[in-house]
Homo-oligomer: A and B are copies of this chain.
Amino acid sequence: MRTIFDENSKSRARARVRQLLSPPSTAQSIDLMCAPTLYTRNEQIFGEGEPADCFYKIETGCIRAYHTLDNGRRQLVAFYLAGDFFGLDARDRHTISTEATTTSKVRVIMRKALMSSGNGDMAMIRHLLDLTAVELRRTQNHNLLLLKGAQDRVVDFLHEMAEREHSLGEFDLYMTRRDIADYLSLTVETVSRTLSHLETEAAISLPTPWRVVLHYPSALN
């Protein structure tokens, strides 16, 4: 039931972090705290239940974060794109699993370096608080999305992606239909059907299955 992935890159990342931080870091910017690590498609960053030593900033690519439910099904709670932070929800252990949906470059940041009362710096903690609040609002928005009908969910999703990729009108999907379905809590079939329906309505075009063109970017029904 577990996704196949290469444990090596995780070890690599940890080792690199330790090396960089072993003399207590005085870095002013989170961006500079660690060299980026590369993850390939379906490779796991961290799993549910693992100790939460670090959090993460994604440079390029796309990460999916999900819960595994009792019934074995998978519920995606977020896609993280270039510039996003993730892994903040955890206190002691991670409550979600994360995997790359496509080749992705990720920076790993140690928690302890920031949180220890000794060298913990005020501005940094408040930055963390900001990021966590952003994550909270993102989760609340996702909640609201799940209340709507199937078509609205898909449309909202397309708008969200268009906005987050800074490309109103035309953009790429870095994830499969299954990922989208699990994010929107629909079936693949319903997602596919809805996209087809939007295309016949001339609301969007799908030159390829992973390329999307919004014909009315502002208000799409």
Contact = CB atoms under 8 A, between A and B. Distances in A.
Contact of A120 (B88, B122, B132): B122
A143 interface: yes
A147 interface: yes
Interface residues of A, number: 31
Contacts of A132: 129, 132-133, 136
A11 interface: no
A6 interface: no
With a 10 A CB-CB cut-off, give which of A75, A126, A139, A142 has the most chain B CB atoms. Answer: A139
Q: Is the interface of A mostly helix, strand, loop or mixed?
A: helix
Contacts of A67: 140, 144
A86 to B, nearest CB: 12
A191 to B, nearest CB: 16
Interface string A141-152: 011101100000
A135 B130 CA distance: 14
A163 interface: no
Copies per assembly: 2
Contacts of A69: 144, 147
Interface in A44-93: 67, 69, 75, 77, 88-89, 91
B137 A143 contact: no
A207 to B, nearest CB: 31
A128 interface: yes
Contacts of A91: 130, 133
Contact of A89 (B77, B125, B137): B137
A125 B128 CA distance: 10
Interface of A: 67, 69, 75, 77, 88-89, 91, 95-96, 115, 117, 120, 122, 125-126, 128-130, 132-133, 135-137, 139-140, 142-144, 146-147, 185
List the 8 closest pairs (A to B, CB-CB), nearest first. Answer: A136-B136, A139-B139, A129-B129, A132-B132, A89-B136, A125-B125, A147-B185, A143-B143
